[in-house]
Every structure is written in C-alpha cells, then in structure tokens.
Structure 1
Amino acid sequence: MNTGVLFTPLRLGRLTLPNRLVMAPMGTCLDRDGFVTEDTVAYYRRRAEGGVGAITVEGCLVSPDSRGPEPRLCGPQYVPGLRRIVEAVRPHGTKVGVQLMHPGRQVTDGPSVAPSPVPLNSVAPTPHALTVPEIKRIVADYAQAARFAADAGFDFVEVHGAHGYLPSNFLSARHNVRTDAYGGTLANRARFSIEVAQAIGAACDLPLVWRLNGTDAEPGGFDVESAVAVARMLEDAGVASISVSSGTWLTLHQTLAPMAVPRGHMRPLARAVRQAVSVPVMAVGRLDSPNLAADVVASGDADLILLGRGLIAEPDWPNLVRAGRLGDVRPCIACNACVDLVGRGERARCAVNPEVGRELTWAVKPAATPRRVMVVGSGPSGLEAARIARLRGHRVSIWERDRTLGGKLTVAGAAPSKQEVLRFRDFQARLLVELGVEVHTSAPVSARTVERHHPDVVVVATGAEPLVPPIPGIDGPAVHDAQRLLLGEVTVEPGTRLVVVGGSATGCETAELMCARGAEVTIVEMAGSIGRGVEAITRRQLVKQLRRDGVRILTGAVVVGFEPGLVRWRPAGAGGEEETLDTDLVALAIGWRASGTAITTELALLGVDVRVLGDAEIPADFVRAVNAGADAGLTV
C-alpha cells in the first residue's frame, strides 16, 4: 500500500493540516494539581518533533467543581501552562488543539453528575441528576474553556463527547431517562451536545472537533444509526470535524482495545459517519499499521487517522513512515500498560519505549570512555540494556542460554491473544544485530565465561525462575513448569485433562493456549480471582474468553498434593474438606523468584563491575523491566 496518501494536506475548518495524522488525546498524569508541567510540555514537543500533522492535547476539565487527574481549563490561571505546550509544538509545523471534557458520572473523585440518577455500575455512587439551570451552567463552562483555549493560542478545540463522559451520557437512552427537553427522543438527548457546540462557536472562532461514539457497545445503548443522525446534527451546529470512537467505562475493550482485538475494529463506524457528513472524519482504533492507516484514508472511510498508543510507543512514526522506513517503527503491542498506569493515577510510561514520561531529561549521550559490556540474558531488560549501551558507543555482547533471543518475551507471546509481544521481541533482536551487538545464543554464562571474555561490566538480566513450593508429589513426571507447555516442550494432545496451578498471567495464558489445542483445562488459584499481573482491560476480556472456551476456574483453592492422575486441593481458610481433580497433566504457574543471586555472588569474587536488573533482581512487569534495562544502558 502506498502510504503517501497519509502525507497530503487537508482543510479542517479554516486550518490546513500538513498531513492526515493526528495525535489522539490520551491522559498522561504529567500535570500537577491540574497545571501543566515542563514534563507535559516536553512530552508533546517530542511528538511534534516526530512529524504528526496535529496534536490534540489530553482532556482538560472545563468545570471548576470537576476533580480528577486531568489538567484543568476552568480558569485563567491554567492558560500560561497550556500556552507553553502551543509554543513548544508550533515550531515543528504541527497544529495543536486541546480537548475539553466534563467527566459527568465517570469521576475518580469529586461530584458525580449525570442527566439521570443512574449509577455507572453496582458499586458506584448514584450520580446527582442535573437540573436545567445546572445544565446551562455547564454549557457556559464549555464556552468559557474554549475562550481560554483561544487565549492560550490553540489552533482548534475538541469536545470529548464519547466514552460515557457527560455529553455521551446524555446521548444514551439506556442511561438518560429524563422526560424533559434533554431526554426521550434522540433530538432531545442530543440537545446538550448541540448547545455546547453552539456555545463554543459563539465564544471563539476556533474550529471545533467533536469526539463522538459510533456505538457505546452496550445493550440498549447508543448505536451507529444514532451516531450517524447526531453527526449530522453536529455538522449543522457548526462542528468542523467528527472524531469517531466507541465504548464507555463498561466496554473499555472497545475504546482501548487490547492486543487480542484486531486492528481497525472501529473502521466501520468511521465509514458510516463519513458517508453521512461532509466535514472531515477522524478514525481511530489500533490504526498504527502504516498500510492499514493508508488504506482507511485511500478508501474514503475516513479523512484523518488518530494515533494514540502508537505515538506513545514511537513518537517518530510519521517521519519514519514518510521516509519509507516502516521496519524502523517501534511497534506498539497494545498491552495497555500506559493506560493502566494513568488509570491508577500514575505517570504515563510505556512497555516498549522507556523515554515516555521522562522526555524532559531523556538523552542517550555518547559514553566518555567506551567499555566492553556483557549483557547476560535477553529478556525485555537485557535487550534494552544492550541496545542503549550500544547506542552510547560501548562494545556490547548479549548472551542467552536458549536458542533464540527474547527470554520471557518468547514465553509471554506464546498464547494466541499475546502474539503482539513477539513483534517487539523480533524488533529489538533485529536492532541489536543492525547496531553491531555481538549476539551469543545457546550460551549459558558462568564465572568462567566472564573470566574468558574480560568484560569491563556485566549486566545480569537473567530474568526470574519459577517458584516451586514443597508440595508433595510436585516432582512427579506429569507435573511441569507452565513455560514448558507455552514453549511447546511438552506435547498436549486434544482431550488431555490439564490442571493449571496458579491463575496469574502465565497461568491464564497457558490455559488459553492449551484450550486452543483441545485440552480440557482447569485453573486452580488460591486467591479469590484469576489474572493478577494482567492489565485490567486485557484481564477482563481474557477471563471472559477463558469462560467462553469452557475453562473451569476454581478460586480460593489451595493445592495440597499431586498423585498419578490426581491433584488434591482444599478450599482456602480453615475447615474446608479436601477434594480431588482428575488430570493427565499439571502445569505450574505459581509465581517467580529472582534468578540473579548465584552468578552475582560468583562475579563479586572476581571483582567485576556487576549490574543486576529486571526480574533478575525483583520479579516485575515489562514496563519496569524495559525501563530498568534502559537505565542500565544509560549509566554503564
């Protein structure tokens, strides 16, 4: 596919965008108490440097009584910080806008309001049903925020009218049960959105983009036919562009699709809206494949491509694609680590790009004195340590005991829903070869190996080893580490009765893969739920899929012994009677322990400069592993 179509200009209202690529608004938690920080400015500057045509700054709260982790635009005191973003982005030829949002009932803190007193879920508080005067005040808040955006120098504004936030909540017949002018018919439910659009148009002359759900993906919720009708109403109200998304907090697998969801899953929604309106339409939804993005534009399904997580993983995506260097684009694996961290109120980080969240200070500087660096282990931390150290000019070798590079990445990418992980593994491995890193596979490392090669520094990134507790019978011939099944080292025939002990990420992924191969799978987990260590959106979908596939899940269950053909277990807590499960095979996924202690002790006796990182030091997730590897590469 010719990707040149992505780099043609386009009119958006009175603006001319230099290309068809727009950075989607995504929260970062880089602000402080609602004020933009220098970290925020550096984050957006870095994306502008990468060649994106337009940036939509993350959602800013428009009402002073709204509280949350987002930046704020509800008073003049917030304007100077946002102006610094504009001043940082504009020299790179990138247009920049800001998203205006009111969370409504989807708040993490502060007042919960909605068109109707319908709670978000069974544990959420019942929101306050807005009165008409309160609705008018919020409409005015949007208009005032738009004026502040114009004062800050933005080129356009966007209203977050999707994902179950306040305008979207008004549109849903499932959640808006009002009987006045703001409820009932679709025109009435759209009234709030139309009034906001008209108020912004009267308050400033900036082009207005409206982010609209193509569907809520909820039974009885807002659907694509309604979206088409509302898009026409918004166009009549003066909106310059429609950005089509989908989902709410109840259906986040649509909004922030995990890696198991196919790329372009929201494309049909954008197409439906594009066929109904004459203003430019933006499409989103895992469109970070350059060829897919180009096809969406070339086919006329949308005019602009929104890149969110793809630009977090690879800020230079536009420039690399424009130059035809598609293979150099660092792949976003849709692991949602960035989303999960921000959702917990933590600063944005990325599982594949350690620069994220520290753009202000990030610098890969040449080493003052090049050294011979031996990296032991090629999991996520080892690969990144080797890459960064080589970029700094060190002579680097990487040593892996298995036949291929990747370490735990290879295990993690074995399940059908985790194949994207292998793209990152292969990308990193190829980069090391291109950079001139000396690669040794099928090469376990001992103190003698280190003595023979005389490195100046050894980076121990050997990962974690499986935890094997002293359960009677655990050394039996039918009991295996789950990783062996994931790697295909143990044959599993259709109809095999498999018990997976441990419902962590590894346990769930083992169950998924073995179920796909026809095994009859039971997961036994001591805790009250499975999927610990899995990002929340991915976990929800994974557990649903396991249940759909017929996997039996026993929680609150403690395994007490293994016998030929049997697993003995009892309920957690006192007084539970022991029970048994018939089985042909057992996979252990109980946990991990750091693996770097032994070799570190040996090397200390040699007087070698040793750095222990990643799971070799403390078992953790990919984000911490990759960032630990980067830190090691930056400091050796």
Structure 2
Amino acid sequence: MGKDVLVQQLVDSFDSWPAKNSGCGLSRMTQELYPFDKLFSPIKINKLTVKNRIVMAPMGNIDMCEETGRPSDMMLQYFFARAKGGCGLIATGLVPVSHGIDTTVTELDKLTYFPRIDRSRTVMAGWRDLAQGVHAFGSRIFVQLTAGLGRVGNPQCLITQKKFPVSASFLPNYYIPAIPCMRLSDQKLRRIVNNIGQAAADAHAMGIDGVYLHGHEGYLIEQLGNPAFNHRKLGRYADWRQFGLDMVKEIRRRVGPDYPIMYRIDLSLALEETYDEQVMNSTYLGRMRGGRTVEQTLCYMEELVTAGVDIFDVDLGCYDNWWMPHPPASMPAGCFAPVARAVRERFAADNIRSNAGLPVPVVAVGKLGYPDIAERVLRNGDADMIMLGRPLLADPEWPNKAYAGRVADIRPCIGCQEGCLNEFVEGGHPQCAVNPRCSFEYLMPQTPAPAIESKRIAVIGAGPAGMVCALIAARRGHDVKLIDAEDELGGKLLSASAARIKFDLDNYRSYLVRQVREQTEKPNGNLTLELGRAARAEDLAKAGFDAIVCATGTSNAIPPIPGLTELAASGHAVQATQLLRQPALLGTAKTVAIIGGGAVGCEVAQWLTVEHGIPQVSVIEMLPHMMQGACTANRGHLLHALRGRNVRLLNMTRVERAEVEGKRESGAPSRCARLHLSRNCHKNVPDPYVSWSPVLPENVENPLAPKIGNDWKSLELTCDLVIIACGGHPDDALFYKLQQTHAADEMHNIGDGFAPGRVLEAVRAAYRLGTNI
C-alpha cells in the first residue's frame, strides 16, 4: 500500500514542529477572537438541538462505577460538573456490550471496571439519573458503546480465566504480543450486533440523547472494520465494512429514524506512515500492513451515513502509535484539524446528507483546549464542532469561562496524561494532574468551606504545591505568606516548562502565577509574597505562625559516580534543570551525553536536537526501559521522535566513572568529558526505541518475557558536555528542623519535599491540605 500524502505530512510534522521559529503548534490561552460566536452557536444533530459546538470527548470511566457496572455517584457528579460548566454535548467513556464474548472486558466473578448498560435492570437507574442530571443544566449526553477491546484488551484474562483474548483474526495482543488473540466466529459477532441494538434501545428508554460507536483506535469495531486487522477470508464479516454497517442498521431498527447516532473513526491508522520499513519488517507490525486508505475510509463513512450515522468525529492512529489518538504534551495544538477538514470537504463535494436530510457534522479533535484555536477551526470551516477531553477534566468550567470572556481564568491541561490516562492503566480511575477535584466532585464541593478560624500560615516554596496550597488557604480566609528563595514564582515549573514541547505546562505556570498575583492584590490582603530570600528556621519560629507548610521541592541529585562531582565543578557537567533555564551554558557543544533516561532526560534530548540543533546526543539509563513509568502515549511519542533524530539511547548502562580531558576555555568545550560505561549487551535486553508496545505496570508480570541475562561490556563515551538528569532528593531539612523546634502548632510537608513525584501528586496534596488546614 502506498503511503497517503496528507497523513505522511501530518505524521512528520508532529515530530518536527518545535524546530520552527514561527511558533507553529504552540498556543496560549488568549481571546483574540472573543466573543466566540461560532463556538457558542447551536447545531442540529438529527432532530436534536445542541446549544453550542463543544463536545466532551469520551474519557474512559474506568472504575467509576459499581462492580456490577451501575454508574456510581462518582461518575454522575463527574458528568454533572461538566454539564454545569456549559458543555453542549457530553459523551460517556466506552461501555462494552460484549461481556461473555470478549474475555478482556469482564473480571473474575463476572464483575467489571467498566460501566454497563447491558447487564440487567439493576444498572438502568444509574443511567436514568445521569441523563436527568445532565439535562438539568441544558446539556445533552450520548453513551459510547463498544463491541469490545479485542487485541488491545488486558491479556490477564489468560491467567485469571484461562481464556485467550479475542479479535477479528488471529493477531498478537497489544500488551503482550507473544499472546495470540483468537478469531471470533460470525455467530458471536452477530450476538454483539444484537447487543449493540439492545443497548441503544435501553439508552433511548433511559433518556440518553444518543449513542456513540467507538469505531477507532484499534478497538474491536476497528479490528473488524479495517483490513489491517481483519484478515478473514470466509463468512459475512470477511468484508471489513459489514460489521459496522450491521451495527448501525440494527441500532436504527431498534430506536427508529430520529435518534442520533455518532461514530468515532480514524481517517487512517497511520502505521505505515509512522514506522519505517525496518520496523515494519522486523516486528509484529508487519502483519498489520494494508490498513484502510484515506479514500477507503471516506467511502466507508458515506456508507455509514446511508445506514444511519448522523455525525462523526475523526482523527488518526491506534494503540500501536498510541500518541496519535492520545496527543501528549509533545504534540502541537490543533493537530488533527486538517483531518476533519478533509472529511468535511469530501462530504460537501459529494453532497452527503443524513437520513434526516441534514449535512453530517464533523467534529474536530486533538489539543483544541485553547479558545482562539477552537474558534478558528470552526470559522475556517475545518469542522462543525470541536471536542475537548482533557481540557474539561482540567477545568469543567472551560465553556462558561470562554463564553464570559474569562479565558485567562481557564485552568489549562498540561498534556501529561498521568491522571486522565495513566492512572487507570496503573489500576486507578481517571483523575487530573491540575484539577484535584476531577472524579472527586462527589466528595469535594466546588467552593471549599470558609475557615472556621482564621490562622496565620507560612507556605515555604512557590512551586505548584506551594502556590496551590497558599491560594486555597487564602481563599478560605486564612492569612497566608508565600515564601521562596527565587525572585520568580514557579519553582521547578520554570525549568520544566522551558522547552517548546512543554508549552502546555508553561500555560499552567502562567495561570498559577496570575491566580497568586490576583489574590495578593485583593483588598483584604490575606496573601502576601516574600520572594528572593531563603526561609530560615529561626525567623519562621519567631514569627509566630499558627501553621507552616513546607513545599520546598527537591535538591538535584548527583549520582555517586567517581569523578562526576569534579566534572561538574570544572564546568564540564551541568544539571538539566539549570541548563533548561540557562541555555547559554551549552556554549558551542556539538556532542552531549545525558545521564538519566527518565522523562526529563528524554525531553532534554529532544530539546537539544530540535531546538538547538545539537547533532550528537546520547542518553544513558540504568533501567531496562527509557522513561519507565511514564504514560505510554507521552513515552511513545518522545521515543519515536528521538529515533528520528538519531539520538543514541543506551539502556541498561551504568556510568562507572567520569573524567576531564583537557580544559574548557571561553565557553568552547572540545572533547572535554570522558565517561567510562558498562552496558548489558545480552540479547534479551529490550530495544530502547520500541514505541509500538507498552511497558507493563510494575505489578503485572509477563510470564512470557525472556529473561535478561548478564553480558556486560565496557565502552567509553567522549563528549563536549555532560547533562545530569537523575531527578532529585526531597529538600526536607527545613521541615524536620522546624518540626524538631516546634516552630508552629501545625507542621506540614507536601509536594516533592515529601516525596519526589509529578505535578499530579503535588497539586492533589496541596489542594487537600489547603481545604482542611
């Protein structure tokens, strides 16, 4: 199959956009196009009128239901908050209808972590309550139905239930490719079609406004509906179009002509545009060649309209290039607008109308949480509606604030995907790194209760934990002093948001700084700043605070490598956090080695190669995998981009010692650092560039994983500059000194000063403490 030109251009641009000085792909929370008249105009979907053009994306409601599958109060209040926030159309997360057929969607004892609408009448009341609650705020809601997960489902069913996962054909499981997925029979697929029809009828009866078929991203509908996965030669469903068409026709038969049907589809899997021939030929991906072409997808979409579909949302990609359907921080804003435009133009050229006689709306997706970009997509005719997922988790009031012209007050999504996606992959439920109320709306009121007694509080450290805690405490009526040794607010966010791919994080930093500044300027003056002077235990003790909160972050770690301290002292090595704030320290370096292959190390490697044109970058990591523990989408995109930039990734490699070669003069290093390394070259050491298969959670054992032996070899690496990206140690000395001297009646230690972590943990702790102190 030939590669599609549009898809190839887009895929290539997703890796290279930060190199452009024009700022292409970078966006800020601006309101140049206010009032957003297109965004806040009504639209008809079949006979249904939606008050504005904002659709809440289906974010998986994993573990937000009772174990029977009945929507719980957690799930209801989560959606009510987004309806109250002004979203026109809400979509639930995926709801499987293939229990008993697809073994990956059901747990032991027939329990499930997915919401269910197919189990029995015991789940129906939850859906009825959900519909009525959303309608109370003038919003509409569709339930997203899926035929199942198939090859992208959890393969633990093989261990817990002694049953193989299933798919359209005999295919490798995504999480453990050594486990095969069994081919589903036509009879079982027909049962799923009937189940879809019944689920749609139940949704209609419960007052849900429409149904939404999950036909993209490599889930079971996609596996039947794409020749990349559907290798069937015989039977009804050997025709890759038939399963989707049968489902839509069965829904129409059960609910009649007026009930809206939405369909989620990818214009292309983009696998062959993402991976080169070497990867395709040497991995299981080679079995997935020949996916739907763009032309085939467009023709199929027109057939789906004839069968009864009223509206589409469209993007690119699947699990095997997971950053496409889940665009992380490192991808540009508005990344899929050209995809929506291609569909809209085709529908206009062919005069495609739904069965209701209306134009078929096309919904644009992909990092559209910036009101000016969202409005521009609609004004330019790229799409009819825009879809927001993570931005509405970060701030449920996004629509209301945009409508009122308060864009600067929108809490931005930072694109980390640690709460909304990685949290439930690791065994939790969806949350949000910057919105600690996300999924806890049923427990935490929108406005924290006023303090019963006003206290004098000192918050030490103006990073995300310190700023959030200080803000909440001050808004509740406490008298708060926020203290930081730096002249600027932000803490580690100042370095973490320096690279262009971190523009989402920089938006969040700007948001927090603005919130703090506004609070300090209020007439009651209950939040004051003391910047540019390090807090001293003696001064704090004398000040007579009722409570002291230490949010002092971390001290940069220097691993115990012989010679590394001397290398740093001589100017031949620098901490990543320092370099990000002072790029001039690069001097004229052409070769760089980064010690530490976590998220920071890999992001710095991308920053060096793309934004600074460093031709030779090596990243050294002791663990088997780069960025181990990071969200698969974020991790995969960075690894793919680094491979394309010829960054040398050395996993399972130790730095034994470092030494200086020659002198560094006038900022022009020349082969001045030598690292002596030991690398495990055993044949089973993982390929560090693998972006098509995930790293399993630490508590999930792969029984088929080959054992990594020991085959350590010595090598040397000479470079102009060494960058240390080894994380940090809790900077908790002040807290323990204050605690020992009883400096205040209440002492608290939060954020990285308690345990180095992510924005997610820092903000969550800060908010909970700020609301309870």
- TM-score class, shorter-chain normalisation, is over 0.9
Match of 2:168 in 1: 115
Looking at structure 1, the residues matched to 190 and 559 of structure 2 have their Cα atoms a distance apart, in angstroms, of 63
Q: 2:39 maps to what in 1?
A: 6
Q: Report whether the alignment pairs 1:393 with 2:447.
A: no
Q: Aligned to 2:269, which of 192, 204, 216?
A: 216
**Contact 1:177–1:183 at 8 Å: present in 2 too?**
no
CA contact under 8 A between 2:321 and 2:636: conserved in structure 1?
no
1:245-264, Cα deviation, whole Å (9 max, x unpaired): 33211122110101121122
Task: Specify the alignment match of 1:32 in structure 2.
Answer: 66
Alignment of 1:514-553 (within 5 A): 514-515=608-609, 516-519=611-614, 520-553=616-649
Measure the CA separation in 2 of the matches of 1:475 and 1:112. Answer: 52
SS at 1:399's partner residue? strand
**In the alignment, structure 1 residue 321 sits paired with structure 2 residue 402:** yes
Matched AA of 1:226? Q
Deviation at 1:577, TM superposition (A): 4.8
2:126 matched to 1:81? yes
2:697 aligned partner: none
Q: CA deviation at 1:125?
A: 2.8
* Equivalent position to 1:568, from 676, 696, 700: 676
Q: Which amino acid aligns with 2:612?
A: R
The answer on 1:497 being equivalent to 2:591 is: yes
1:165-194 Cα offsets, whole Å, 9 max, x none, are 12211221221122235466xxx3111111
Q: Is the 8 A contact 1:197 1:237 kept in 2?
A: yes
Please give the alpha-carbon distance, in whole angstroms, between the structure 1 residues aligned to 2:717 and 2:368: 45
Aligned partner of 1:470 in structure 2 is 560
Please list the CA deviations of residues 352-384 of structure 1 after superposition, one character each: whole Å capped at 9, or x if unmatched: 111112110112111111112211111221111
> What is the rounded CA distance, in whole Å, between the counterparts of 2:441 and 2:553 in structure 1?
27
For the 8 Å contact 1:115–1:130, the answer to whether it is kept is: yes
Measure the CA separation in 1 of the matches of 2:146 and 2:540.
57
Q: Decide whether the 8 Å contact of 1:484 with 1:490 is kept in 2.
A: no
User: For 2:369, which of 279, 282, 288 is the aligned residue?
Assistant: 288
> SS of 2:61's equivalent?
coil
Which one-letter code corresponds to 2:305 in the other structure?
A: E
**Cα distance in structure 2, aligned partners of 1:456 and 1:137:** 65
Match for residue 234 of structure 2 among 168, 180, 204: 180
CA 1:378 to 1:210, structure 2 compared with 1: closer, same or farther past 3 Å? same
The aligned residue for residue 430 of structure 1 is 514
1:575 Cα deviation after fit: 7.4
Give the residue type in structure 2 aligned to 1:610. M
CA distance in 1, matches of 2:719, 2:376: 49
Aligned to 1:454: 544
Partner of 1:304 in structure 2?
A: 385
Shift of 1:606: 3.9
Partner of 1:171: 225
Q: How does 1:231-246 map to 2 (within 5 A)?
A: 231-246=301-316
- The reply to whether residue 248 of structure 1 matches residue 344 of structure 2 is no
Change in 2 beyond 3 A, CA 1:428/1:159? same
Distance change >3 Å, CA 120–CA 62, structure 1 → 2: same
Q: 2:466 aligns with which of 382, 396, 399?
A: 382
Where 2:376 maps in the other structure, the secondary structure is helix
Letter in 2 for 1:96: I
**Contact kept? 1:10, 1:16, Cα under 8 Å:** yes
Q: Deviations over 1:405-437 (max 9, x none)?
A: 111112211233223211111100110111123
Aligned to 2:756: 619
- Cα drift, residue 94 of structure 1: 0.8
Name the CA distance, whole Å, in 2 between partners of 1:311 and 1:45: 12
The aligned counterpart of 2:142 is 97
Please tell me whether the aligned partners of residues 139 and 196 of structure 1 are also in contact (alpha carbons under 8 angstroms): yes
The whole-number CA distance in structure 2 between the counterparts of 1:426 and 1:521 is 31
> Take 2:230 and 2:84, find their aligned partners in 1: how far apart are those partners?
43
1:499–1:587 CA contact under 8 A, matched in 2 = yes
Q: Which residue of 437, 450, 458 maps to 1:355?
A: 437
CA offsets, 1:9-28, max 9 Å, x none? 11111111111111111113
Cα deviation, residue 99, structure 1: 0.7
Q: Deviations over 1:231-281 (max 9, x none)?
A: 111111111212223321112211010112112221122122223132222
> For the structure 1 residues 306 and 536, does the alpha-carbon distance in structure 2 shift closer, same or farther, using more than 3 Å as the test?
same
Indicate the structure whose relative CO is greater, using CA pairs within 8 Å and at least 6 residues apart.
2
CA RMSD of aligned residues (A): 2.0
Say yes or no: does 1:41 pair with 2:76.
yes
Letter in 2 for 1:31: C
Give the alignment partner of residue 593 of structure 1, picking from 729, 737, 741: 729
Q: Work out whether residues 493 and 518 of structure 1, in 8 Å CA contact, stay in contact via their aligned partners in 2.
A: no
Which residue number corresponds to residue 196 of structure 1?
247
Give the structure 1 partner of residue 87 of structure 2. Answer: 52
C-alpha distance in 1 between matches for 2:116 and 2:151: 17
Larger deviation: 445-454 or 395-404?
445-454
Structure 2 match to 1:513: 607
Give, in whole Å, the separation in 2 of the partners of 1:451 and 1:561: 44
2:581 paired residue among 471, 477, 487: 487
Q: Larger deviation: 522-531 or 250-259? A: 522-531
Residue 169 of structure 2 aligns to a residue in which SS? coil
User: Is contact 2:186-2:235 (8 Å) kept?
Assistant: no
* Shift in Å, 1:489: 6.6
Structure 1 304/382 Cα, relative in aligned 2: closer, same or farther at 3 Å?
same
Contact 1:492 1:517 in 2 (8 A): no
Deviations 1:276-306 (A, max 9, x none): 1322222211111111111222222222211
Structure 2: runs of 5 or more not aligned: 1-32, 107-112, 158-163, 273-289, 353-358, 521-526, 661-672, 681-708
| Cα drift, residue 527 of structure 1 | 1.4
User: How many correspondences in the alignment?
Assistant: 633
1:603 shift after superposition: 4.7
Q: Which residue matches 1:554?
A: 650
